[in-house]
């Protein structure tokens, strides 16, 4: 697609109609967030923005230009009518106008300049690096960049590239500096990088002044530091019956203006010269209500004395500026009447903060009742008071000196680790890393998942019976206890423990080299994939604790001989009680060494609201989520629920175990705030298919010491889905390489046979695909040119190492052996052969494909001059497995099957998603193609072999059958009764025939499940008999009793209709 076509087809963020406006795009952690606005009277989502067009356009730029894989989310914000009127006067492109000729009040862009800008922007943003980019808004041609100075202070550089609307400005944090305007027509290569370097030099120029600002901020509560500016013009915007004055300012970058809180609704303001920042300010002004300013002279004198100490000079002149009844806001000329002062925050003097926080905290002195923003009051109470003499006593209201309660804050770190069954060395390393990360964030508690020391989940399975598993777990625990670097934080980990000849699944609480509590699990997970009762005993002695004699390896560390064992609460030195529970949901992240993939998402909740979560899918081996919880709010929330309080009063008290730790944050060295709630982000089923099996394949590949994958492409949806999942894996791995994920880089070097220190790794998924994914089209005389062409095109799109071969001669050789021995030659049904002959001829082709697949998987890397072998991927879906519509030991027999537990219908939706995500129009051909095994010959008179015709049922019907059989536990009779309700359009006899047909083929093919390739577990109706769907594999396929009951119901219903 050319630049002109791209620009015309994808207008990005524009005004879609007269009432709906688009905002800007944020890119962070491969998530593109589109913010838009709407007026209060227009609230239809469809009127906001054509999200598909917008996201498709941006996706195309990001994937083709920068090889970024992103996902989109939409956020809407209602705006006032006044804001709507103001927006009408801004330069936003209308939908009904040509994109190349936007209507603005101030200037027009030519089509040539707009296209030039897009072309340059792709290169400029890529060269500058996404780490330095905050966002780019193509509607206003505004780009916000990040910069961090030598002292790690963060700044924002905003560049408006075209003269659209007001003059562009560059904002450095809260400081505003007027730059040169850069018209689109004069852009040259490197313009953005050069501008970034120029503004970075300007920031460094202000280092002395910034140092002074930082020092003042450390000693005082600086409300705002901003550049001084002078009024140049005032305009009036009319909005219905109302009007509003809008003032324009000319920026003066010679000095910064600093506004500092003084108390009693009074602030003090002075200037810092950027050229000579150490010189004293010539004038200091007081701002606030007139009656408050009269009593502020003593405190302002104290502040001046402090400033003299900090600046190392004397302040010679001082003057006061009263604001009788009105108060000036920093940075503009807006004023509030004195009647409004009572609702403003007593610290920052504002009514509403960023994030829509309003003053909600009140001083509990009935004579004061001063309102505060929660965050402002917290910061005030936590600020240092060593060099201030503002008549402010630490821990008291800054106005009435009444005692203010300090919020009780607790920081928790929960983690998702990519553990591996019986990998005690790696498991210990990951646990230790997570503890160190939690300590670095000043967390009080580090919460790990159950059984994280020996494994992930319950994947050790019968290894739990071995004494070695418990012994090695104690050895790992001893290393954690003996490491002083891990002291100062409460560690909660998990391991099996033997107590009184019973094996328990336990959470072990550690603190400063001591075992505080061993908490056994009470409720076992014994459904679905889990058989916990097979290995562990539930602890039912709820209200009693005992002592466990610790192994000698633990006793030798600090002389601790016993530990409390049982269901108990932890009680800190400041009286806070904490309880523990162990559930199957608290699992880890990654492949469990079997068919499961644990999808992370460890979470922190408070009062029913989500505060933090780890990623659902990630190649990071250690992921942590941190949250600071206000325990006072938790107590208040619980106390407000009457039923909970009543139940609590009747409940028996649990035993308490003391732990010598104060869980609240020390105030002076930290500035800690409660974590705000977040909105959970949910992936679609199609996205989960793209990420989950892909991460599962990566874990299996790197841990199996193999060199890649081998996949037989048939030209159908199933093998296409596996190919796209594997390509998605390459995309995820490349993103991790670009982010310098050291673990991924090490593993990828090993897989590709490179030196461990090599850093020259592919960051383009197509380049990596050619090194890892090996595809092959295996044709016979029954294969069509259409499927072969689709397979070749797909391989070219994902750039896999592809080969095509025809093994008809191999099939003929096998048949010649049979003919020599038996003197008989089997024929297809089309040529007059019997059904056994027809099946045998099909199965020969299918099974030879498996033999050839393993041959090429073993040697193809040798042909390419590399060591190792390839993992063979299968491509049979869950519906075919359930029906038994595959050949035993054919291409369904492989090392791994990413789609073995995914339905055909979900795979169709997945392919549609990947078609849009990667802009692969080719995938449409797979969606419309008739599913066919192509194992029998066709003629002009005979139709193409169809899977659904041969199965006698559709894939949609198979999905319903599978769900009723497994999820709803229906046998033949109850399934028939359910389908009579679901399929009202079908006659009962027709439904009965379908149910009988399904159970007949299910029963005669159940034996195939015993050889099923290990598959990624996804569907709830998976027929995998390894540990999820336990059934016999030899049935009486007539189901005579059951089918007779169905026939009786059909006959009864038929007779009723005849009577009616």
For residue range 606-649, list pLDDT tens digits in order: 888 899 988 888 888 899 999 988 887 788 788 778 787 777 77
User: Which of 936, 925, 933, 924 minimizes the C-alpha distance to 876?
Assistant: 933
pLDDT of residue 506: 92
**328: Cβ–Cβ under 8 A, 6 or more apart, which residues?**
287, 335
pLDDT of residue 1047: 85
Give the pairing of strands 801-806 and 773-779. Answer: parallel
Most confident listed range (2-6, 73-77, 584-588, 650-654):
650-654
Give the pairing of strands 502-511 and 709-712. Answer: unpaired
pLDDT of residue 587: 61
Mean pLDDT of 152-173: 47
Q: What is the dihedral of CA 987, 990, 995, 1001, to 10 degrees?
A: -170
Least confident of 239-253, 546-560, 585-599: 239-253
Residues 923, 942 contacting (CB under 8 angstroms): no
Does the pLDDT at position 714 exceed 70?
yes
Mean pLDDT of 240-261: 50
The region that residue 77 occupies, defined by phi over 0 for left and psi between -120 and 50 for alpha, beta otherwise, is beta
Most confident listed range (33-47, 717-731, 979-993):
717-731
**827: Cβ–Cβ under 8 A, 6 or more apart, which residues?**
833, 837, 841
Does the pLDDT at position 721 exceed 60?
yes
Angle 538-544-548 (CA atoms, 0-180°, nearest 5)?
A: 75
SS3 251: strand
SS3 1044: helix
- pLDDT tens across 771-810, in order? 999 999 999 988 888 999 999 999 999 999 999 999 999 9
* Alpha-carbon separation of residue 358 from 224, 338, 405 (angstroms): 18, 18, 19
1040-1059 and 988-1004 helices, crossing angle to 10°: 170
Mean pLDDT of 562-573: 91
Does the pLDDT at position 858 exceed 60?
yes
Residues 920, 728 contacting (CB under 8 angstroms): no
Helices (H), 80-181: 81-88, 111-128
- pLDDT tens across 69-111, in order? 545 444 444 444 444 444 343 333 222 222 222 222 223 333 4
Q: What's the distance, CA 265 to chain centroid?
A: 43
pLDDT of residue 665: 53
pLDDT of residue 1045: 86
Exposed, middle or buried, 156 (CB in 10 Å: 0-12/13-18/19+)? middle
Residues 239, 326 contacting (CB under 8 angstroms): no
Question: How sure is the predictor about 267, in pLDDT bands with cuts at 50, 70 and 90?
Answer: low
Q: How far apart are CA 24 and CA 139, in angstroms?
A: 8
Least confident of 155-164, 357-366, 959-968, 1021-1030: 155-164
pLDDT of residue 835: 87
Considering only residues 1011 and 1043, tell me which one the structure prediction assigns the higher pLDDT. Answer: 1043
pLDDT of residue 812: 93
SS3 403: strand
Considering only residues 244 and 496, tell me which one the structure prediction assigns the higher pLDDT. Answer: 496
Q: How far apart are CA 731 and CA 197, in angstroms?
A: 32
pLDDT of residue 172: 29
Does the pLDDT at position 455 exceed 90?
no
pLDDT of residue 428: 94
Q: To the nearest whole number, what is the mean pLDDT of the chain?
A: 72
Does the pLDDT at position 526 exceed 60?
yes
Considering only residues 653 and 689, tell me which one the structure prediction assigns the higher pLDDT. Answer: 689
pLDDT of residue 336: 31
pLDDT of residue 795: 95
Does the pLDDT at position 404 exceed 50?
yes
Output phi, psi for 862, to 5 deg: -60, -40
Q: How far apart are CA 754 and CA 747, in angstroms?
A: 10
Q: What share of the chain is helix, strand, coil (3-state, %, to 5)?
A: 40, 20, 40
pLDDT of residue 298: 52
Does the pLDDT at position 707 exceed 50?
yes
Q: How far apart are CA 349 and CA 265, in angstroms?
A: 7
Does the pLDDT at position 675 exceed 90?
no
User: Which of 358, 361, 357, 285 minimizes the C-alpha distance to 327?
Assistant: 285
Percent of the chain with pLDDT over 90: 25
Least confident of 108-117, 167-176, 658-667, 699-708: 167-176
The strand pairing partners of 683, in sequence order, are: none
Considering only residues 128 and 419, tell me which one the structure prediction assigns the higher pLDDT. Answer: 419
* Alpha-carbon separation of residue 809 from 781, 783, 813, 821, 850 (angstroms): 9, 14, 6, 19, 16
Mean pLDDT of 346-368: 61
The strand pairing partners of 471, in sequence order, are: none
Does the pLDDT at position 18 exceed 50?
no
The strand pairing partners of 25, in sequence order, are: 34, 136
> Which domains are assigned to the chain?
3-204 (no CATH), 209-382 (no CATH), 409-659 (3.60.110.10), 685-808+851-946 (3.40.50.620), 953-1060 (no CATH)
pLDDT of residue 748: 95
Q: Is the dihedral of CA 631, 632, 635, 641 positive or negative?
A: negative
Exposed, middle or buried, 270 (CB in 10 Å: 0-12/13-18/19+)? buried
Mean pLDDT of 321-344: 33
pLDDT of residue 385: 40
Considering only residues 890 and 322, tell me which one the structure prediction assigns the higher pLDDT. Answer: 890
Q: How far apart are CA 276 and CA 269, in angstroms?
A: 18
Three-state secondary structure string covering 574-623: CCCEECCCCCCCCCCEEECCCCCEEECCCEEEECCEEEEECCCCCCCCEE
Least confident of 646-660, 711-725, 930-944: 930-944
Does the pLDDT at position 664 exceed 70?
no
pLDDT of residue 598: 78
Least confident of 103-107, 285-289, 940-944, 1051-1055: 103-107
Output phi, psi for 294, to 5 deg: -60, -30
Considering only residues 568 and 581, tell me which one the structure prediction assigns the higher pLDDT. Answer: 568
Strands (E), 714-859: 773-779, 801-806
Does the pLDDT at position 30 exceed 90?
no
Most confident listed range (529-538, 808-817, 949-958):
808-817
Give the active site residues.
450, 521, 583, 714
765-772 and 717-738 helices, crossing angle to 10°: 120
Exposed, middle or buried, 487 (CB in 10 Å: 0-12/13-18/19+)? middle
Percent of the chain with pLDDT over 70: 58
Residues 290, 319 contacting (CB under 8 angstroms): no
Does the pLDDT at position 182 exceed 60?
no
* Alpha-carbon separation of residue 153 from 147, 148, 209 (angstroms): 8, 5, 13
Q: How far apart are CA 588 and CA 644, in angstroms?
A: 31
Give the N- to C-terminal CA distance of the chain in Å, as an integer.
Answer: 66
Residues 235, 215 contacting (CB under 8 angstroms): no
Residues 756, 750 contacting (CB under 8 angstroms): yes
Considering only residues 325 and 831, tell me which one the structure prediction assigns the higher pLDDT. Answer: 831
Does the pLDDT at position 293 exceed 50?
yes
**1025: Cβ–Cβ under 8 A, 6 or more apart, which residues?**
1009, 1010, 1012, 1031, 1033
The strand pairing partners of 155, in sequence order, are: 147
Least confident of 225-239, 440-454, 468-482: 225-239
């Amino acid at each position: 697609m050319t630049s002109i076509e791209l620009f015309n087809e994808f207008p990005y963020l524009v005004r879609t109609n007269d009432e709906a406006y688009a905002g800007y795009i944020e890119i962070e952690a491969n998530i593109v967030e589109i913010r838009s606005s709407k007026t209060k009277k227009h609230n239809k989502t469809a009127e906001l923005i054509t999200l598909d067009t917008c996201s498709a356009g941006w996706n195309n730029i990001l994937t083709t230009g920068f090889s970024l894989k992103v996902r989109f989310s939409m956020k809407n914000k209602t705006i006032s009518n006044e804001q709507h009127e103001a927006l009408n006067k801004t330069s936003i492109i209308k939908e009904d106008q040509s994109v190349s000729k936007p209507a603005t009040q101030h200037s027009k862009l030519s089509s040539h300049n707009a296209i030039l800008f897009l072309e340059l922007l792709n290169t400029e943003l890529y060269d500058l690096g996404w780490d330095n980019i905050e966002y780019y808004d193509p509607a206003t041609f505004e780009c916000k960049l990040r910069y961090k100075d030598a002292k790690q202070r963060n700044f924002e550089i905003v560049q408006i590239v075209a003269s659209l609307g007001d003059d562009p400005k560059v904002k450095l944090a809260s400081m505003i500096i007027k730059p040169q305007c850069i018209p689109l027509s004069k852009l040259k290569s490197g313009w953005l990088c050069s501008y970034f370097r120029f503004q970075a030099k300007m920031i460094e120029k202000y280092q002395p002044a910034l140092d002074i600002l930082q020092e003042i901020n450390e000693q005082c509560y600086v409300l705002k530091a901003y550049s001084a500016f002078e009024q140049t013009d005032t305009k009036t915007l009319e909005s219905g019956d109302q009007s509003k004055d809008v003032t324009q300012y000319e920026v003066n970058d010679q000095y910064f203006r600093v506004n500092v809180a003084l108390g009693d609704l009074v602030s003090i303001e002075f200037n810092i010269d950027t050229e000579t920042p150490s010189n004293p300010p010539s004038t200091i002004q007081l701002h606030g209500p007139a009656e408050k300013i009269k009593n502020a002279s003593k405190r302002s004198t104290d502040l001046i004395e402090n400033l003299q100490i900090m600046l190392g000079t004397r302040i010679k002149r001082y003057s006061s500026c009263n604001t009788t009844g009105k108060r000036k806001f920093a940075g503009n000329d807006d004023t509030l009447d004195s009647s409004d002062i009572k609702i403003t925050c007593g610290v920052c003097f504002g009514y509403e903060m960023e994030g829509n926080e309003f003053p909600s905290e009140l001083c509990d002195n009935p004579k004061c009742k001063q309102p505060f923003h929660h965050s402002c009051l917290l910061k005030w109470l936590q600020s240092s008071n060593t060099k201030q003499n503002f008549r402010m006593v630490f821990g008291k209201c800054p106005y009435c000196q009444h005692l203010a309660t300090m919020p009780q804050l607790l920081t928790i770190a929960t983690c998702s680790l990519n553990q591996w069954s019986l990998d005690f060395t790696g498991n210990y390393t990951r646990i230790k890393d997570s503890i160190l990360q939690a300590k670095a964030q000043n967390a009080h508690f580090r919460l790990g998942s159950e059984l994280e020391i020996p494994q992930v989940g319950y994947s050790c399975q019968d290894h739990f019976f071995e004494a070695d598993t418990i012994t090695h777990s104690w050895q790992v625990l001893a290393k954690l206890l003996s490491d002083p670097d891990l002291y100062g934080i409460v560690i909660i980990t998990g391991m099996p423990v033997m107590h009184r000849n019973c094996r328990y699944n336990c959470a072990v609480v550690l603190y400063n080299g001591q075992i505080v509590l061993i908490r056994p699990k009470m409720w076992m997970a014994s459904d679905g994939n889990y058989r916990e009762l097979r290995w562990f005993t539930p602890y039912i002695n709820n209200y009693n604790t005992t002592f466990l004699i610790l192994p000698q390896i633990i006793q030798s560390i600090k002389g601790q001989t016993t530990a409390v064992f049982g269901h108990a609460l932890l009680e800190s030195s400041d009286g806070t009680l904490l309880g523990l529970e162990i559930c199957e949901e608290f699992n880890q992240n990654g492949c469990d060494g079997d068919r499961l993939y644990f999808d992370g998402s460890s979470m922190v909740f408070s009062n029913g609201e989500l505060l933090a979560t780890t990623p659902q899918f990630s190649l990071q081996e250690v992921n942590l989520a941190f949250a600071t919880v206000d325990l006072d709010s938790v107590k208040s929330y619980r106390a407000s629920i009457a039923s909970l309080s009543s139940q609590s009063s009747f409940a028996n008290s649990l035993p308490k175990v003391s732990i010598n730790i104060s869980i609240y944050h020390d105030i002076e060295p930290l500035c800690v705030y409660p974590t705000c709630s977040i909105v959970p982000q949910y992936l679609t089923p199609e996205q989960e298919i793209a990420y989950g099996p892909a991460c599962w394949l990566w874990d299996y590949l790197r841990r199996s010491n193999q060199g890649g994958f081998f996949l037989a492409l048939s030209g159908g949806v199933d093998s296409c889905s596996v190919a796209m999942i594997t390509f998605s894996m390459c995309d995820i791995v490349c993103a991790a390489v670009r982010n310098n994920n050291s673990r991924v880089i090490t593993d990828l070097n090993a897989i590709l046979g490179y030196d461990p220190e090599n850093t020259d790794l592919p960051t383009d998924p197509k380049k990596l695909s050619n090194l890892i994914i090996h595809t092959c089209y295996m044709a016979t005389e029954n294969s069509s040119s259409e499927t072969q062409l689709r397979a070749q095109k797909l391989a070219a799109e994902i750039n896999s190492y592809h080969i095509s071969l025809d093994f008809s001669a191999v099939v003929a050789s096998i048949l010649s052996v049979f003919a020599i021995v038996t003197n008989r030659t089997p024929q297809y049904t089309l040529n007059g052969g019997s059904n056994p002959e027809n099946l045998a001829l099909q199965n020969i082709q299918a099974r030879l494909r498996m033999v050839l697949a393993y041959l090429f998987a073993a040697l193809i890397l040798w042909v390419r001059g590399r060591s190792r072998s390839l993992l063979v991927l299968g491509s049979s879906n869950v519906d075919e497995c359930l029906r038994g519509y595959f050949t035993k030991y054919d291409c369904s027999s492989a090392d791994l099957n990413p789609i073995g537990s995914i339905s055909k219908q979900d795979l169709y939706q997945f392919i549609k998603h990947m078609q849009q995500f990667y802009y692969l129009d080719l995938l449409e051909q797979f969606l419309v193609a008739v599913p066919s095994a192509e194992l029998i010959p066709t003629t002009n008179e005979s139709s193409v072999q169809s899977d659904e015709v041969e199965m006698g049922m559709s894939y949609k019907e198979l999905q319903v059958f599978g769900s009723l059989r497994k999820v709803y536990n229906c046998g033949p009779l109850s399934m028939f009764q359910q389908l009579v309700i679901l399929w009202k359009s079908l006659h009962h006899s027709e439904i009965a025939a379908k149910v009988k047909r399904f159970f007949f083929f299910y029963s005669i093919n159940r034996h195939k499940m015993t050889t099923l390739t290990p598959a990624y577990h996804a569907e709830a109706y998976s027929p995998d008999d390894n540990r999820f769907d336990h059934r016999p594999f030899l049935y009486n396929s007539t189901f005579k009793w059951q089918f007779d009951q169905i026939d009786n119901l059909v006959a009864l219903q038929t007779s009723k209709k005849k009577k009616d």
